[in-house]
Structure 1
Amino acid sequence: MTFDLTILAPHIPFLVKGAVLTAEACVLALAGSLCIGTIVAALVTSASPVLSRIAYIYVDLFRNIPFIVQLFFFFYGLPEIGIYVNAFATGVIALSIAGGAFTSDVIRSGILSIDPGILEAAEVSGLSKPTIFRKIVMPIALRTSVRPLGSVFINLILTSSILSTITLNELTGSAKIVASDTFRPFEIYAVLLVAYASLTYLVSLAIGALHRYLNRDQTEAA
């Protein structure tokens, strides 16, 4: 069998559309997981044992259930009780909730790594706890957590390929359709491998650049 990429030519617009759908889902899921993760991390590190316990249960629950099971529950299970959501929205919600569990752990580690002396100084200066959390704790925690948060984002990109199982024609779903139409799965999936590898590599480079930019003052001091 010869390796022939010319068979892809008629299907490029369809594959590009799938890639755009993947990008949209991942960007929205990243924003959702950041919001959820920040809230959960705040609850986990709060002084309230009840809120902290609820947050821990959420993290343990969604970190220990396969993503495909969560996805099927949202897409196939919820309609049984009258909750209907389209495939794209379901995918974004499922990725956000699952990603939020991992994001919260990263942000929580960033919060716990903050020098207690900084917080004590902020309290002595008369700042309220919400202000301290918003203007001091979160900026420092997010700055120190850029790299691990980047790993979570990359994992979201890779996990998004599972959305094809709920009839969403994102990049992987589009590739499956083209492979079945052309009967040339080798070429199609070879291109898919390169596409995902390239995408995650570019994201990794961007995260590295962002980390260096946010921590440039420490680098210059060193």
Structure 2
Amino acid sequence: MRFDLSILWPHLPFLWKGAVLSAEVCLLAIIGSVVLGALVAIARTSSAKPLRWLALAYVDLFRNVPFLVQLFFFYYGLPELGIYIDAFTTGVIALSIAGGAFASDAIRSGILAIEPGIIEAAEVSGLSRRVIFTRIVLPIALRTAIRPLGAVLVNMILTSSILSAITLNELTGSGRIVASDTFRPFEVYAVLLVFYAALTYAVSIAVNLLHVRLNRGISQDVA
């Protein structure tokens, strides 16, 4: 078999469209997962037991159920209840909910790592609990959790390839169509392999640089 990438040239616009769709889904999903993860982390560190139990149940459920099952539940199961969601929105919601379960652990670890003296000093200054949490605790926790959150983002990029199972023609779905049309799956999936590897590697480097920048001047034990 002769390796020939030239057969993909006519299909590059279609593959590019799939790549852009993947990027849109992942961008919206990472925002959703961080917001949801922060809310769950707050609930898990709350003094209210019902909130802690509810948050823990959410994390345990979505961390221990295959993502494909979650995806099919939202896309094929919810219509049985009269709830119809398009493939793009379903992908964003499913990735956000699944990613939120992992992001919550990272943010919760960042919250628990904060020195008690910082919070005590803020309380002595007369700041309200809401201000302390939103202006002091959460920013420090997010800064500490940058690297774990980066791992969540990388995993989300890789997991987004499963969205083709619900007819969403993101990059992997587009690649599958091109492979079917050209009968050259080796070249198509070789390109996708290199693309995903390069993208996740670039994201990992960017996350590390962001971590260094945000934690500049802070000892590694604290950061």
Same fold, judged at TM 0.5 (above): yes
Find the aligned partners of 1:164 and 1:2 in 2 and give their Cα distance.
Answer: 28
Q: CA, structure 1 residues 53+219, in 2 after alignment: closer, same or farther (shift >3 Å)?
A: closer
- Between the aligned partners of 1:90 and 1:212, the Cα distance in structure 2 is 35
Question: Secondary structure at the residue paired with 2:39?
Answer: helix
Separation in 2 of the partners of 1:115 and 1:219?
Answer: 14
Name the CA distance, whole Å, in 1 between partners of 2:215 and 2:163: 35
Q: Which residue number corresponds to residue 104 of structure 2?
A: 104
What amino acid does structure 2 have at the position aligned with 1:209? Answer: L
Can you list the C-alpha shifts for 1:115-145, whole angstroms capped at 9, x where unaligned? 0111111111111111000011011101111
Amino acid of the residue matched to residue 200 of structure 1?
T
Letter in 2 for 1:163: L
**Corresponding residue of 2:76:** 76
Residue 110 of structure 1 and its aligned partner are, at CA, apart by 0.3
Paired with 2:45 and 2:109, the residues of 1 have a C-alpha distance of 10
Task: Show the counterpart of 1:203.
Answer: 203
Deviation of 1:217 (Å): 2.1
TM-score between the two structures when normalised by the length of structure 2: 0.97
Deviations 1:72-127 (A, max 9, x none): 00000001111000000000000000000000000000000000111111111111
Alignment of 1:139-218 (within 5 A): 139-218=139-218
C-alpha distance in structure 1 between counterparts of 2:98 and 2:150, whole Å:
15
The amino acid of 2:102's aligned partner reads: F
Asked whether 1:65 is paired with 2:62, we answer: no
Alpha-carbon separation, structure 1, partners of 2:218 and 2:118: 16
User: 1:71 aligns to what SS in structure 2?
Assistant: helix
* Deviation for aligned residue 1:218: 1.6
Mapped to 1, the partners of 2:74 and 2:46 lie a distance apart of 30
Secondary structure of residue in 1 paired with 2:46: coil
CA distance in 1, matches of 2:217, 2:24: 33
Aligned to 1:86: 86
Q: SS at 2:91's partner residue?
A: helix
Question: Where does structure 2 lack aligned partners over 5 or more consecutive residues?
Answer: none
Give the number of aligned pairs.
221
With normalisation by structure 1, the TM-score equals 0.98
User: Are residues 1:113 and 2:113 paired?
Assistant: yes
Deviations 1:147-181 (A, max 9, x none): 11000000000000000000000000000000000
Q: Give the partner amino acid of 2:32.
A: G
Aligned-partner Cα distance in 1 for 2:139–2:3: 50
Give the Cα–Cα distance (whole angstroms) in 2 for the partners of residues 50 and 125 of structure 1. Answer: 30
Matched AA of 1:204: S
Deviation, structure 1 residue 183 = 0.3
Q: Per-residue CA shift, 1:29-81, capped at 9, x if unaligned?
A: 00000110000000000110111110000000000000000000000000111
Inter-partner Cα distance in structure 2 for 1:212 and 1:106: 17
Partners of 1:183 and 1:145 in 2: CA distance: 44
- After TM superposition, give the deviation of residue 205 of structure 1 in Å: 0.9
Where does structure 1 differ by over 4 angstroms across 4 or more consecutive aligned residues?
A: none
Using the alignment, how far apart are the partners of 1:85 and 1:50 within structure 2?
30
* Aligned CA-pair RMSD: 1.2
